[in-house]
Copies of this chain bind each other. A is one copy, B any other.
């Protein structure tokens, strides 16, 4: 008994058979006495098909029209899902992002949710209806249709769960939870029962494709409990929450590392011989931010007295746009040269216990050296260490780290 937000990804609603299965699952949840809001993605590879159509027309489609086009994907799947639920005898209504009142900023194709109006949702839930909400989309205050970019549907689900103060936000996907590493790469990887927001955030931002970091961030800020689970099984998946929700069995962590991940959608840009003066980094990264490019790792190395090299990573999609921006500010910041490399991957280890356990970085570098993997860039945070390696070394690196940090073993309490 409570308010449950469920999110189903594209593979969960790929065809009408899948949609009927999902409908049953939703009705089950409703019949348990819950108020149910469902956020749904576009079917299967529909979004890719729409993008391909746009590319047939022009290499550089205007972003506003791209949003107009892509928003049809979720509208289609939610209408079909509503039909399937109705045919099971359950009252239901589907709502577009604009109809719900998912208000976003004006950055087309990468909009951010500013606010979810809960009035319409409340009214439909009070009327006893299952409410289907289009994921991935919203509308500006001028009622222009926007899409949220990567991780959009997960973020919609979290934002809706937050607005409704839902008891849980269930993220249904084609895997059955969060693993210590990608099981396709590391066969001995195991499913975690629970994981903290911060650990999940790091794992997610590292390419553990199950949950997008945006959604995790949004969940963390708004204290929304996530439950990542499979739409093809009834088994519990992995709960993502604050440390207090995780009810750890012992206070001190036995294991330091929660998981290992690799992200291949990464490219590295190096700016050489930048004068060592205040304001240089600011100019560079403000220009990148203004072009809506997300910069991930940043490393500045003082090599000589007066000049620095600044290296940073962006997603591969943004590489050429980023290089263009850097070329433009190059003379302004007094840089001598630019180089980039997209044949790289980011491999990371994540664990909340890391900060109190000295020697983790050392053990990581030792494991990589033993596997004869060259490290091109290093960046550390309180619960994560990431390295940039050559793309073809990424999977070998993951397996080496998984073994080195005993994730292969069965003694970690969070592992089910």
Contacts and interface: CB of A to CB of B under 8 A. Distances in A.
A53 B16 contact: yes
Contacts of A68: 75, 78-79, 82, 94, 96
Number of copies of this kind of chain in the complex: 2
Interface string A66-109: 10110110011011101110110000011010110000000000
B50 A65 contact: no
Contacts of A53: 16, 76, 80
A64 B58 CA distance: 34
Interface in A7-21: 16, 19-20
Contact of A65 (B16, B86, B96): B86
A259 B287 CA distance: 67
Contacts of A2: none
Contact of A58 (B57, B65, B84, B99): B84
A66 B82 CA distance: 10
Nearest to A17: B56
Contacts of A82: 62, 65, 68
A155 to B, nearest CB: 22
Interface string A42-66: 0000000010011011101110111
A72 B86 CA distance: 20
Most central of A78, A80, A83 by chain B CB within 10 Å: A83
Most central of A68, A78, A84 by chain B CB within 10 Å: A68
A83 B61 contact: yes
Interface of A: 16, 19-20, 50, 53-54, 56-58, 60-62, 64-66, 68-69, 71-72, 75-76, 78-80, 82-84, 86-87, 93-94, 96, 98-99, 143-145
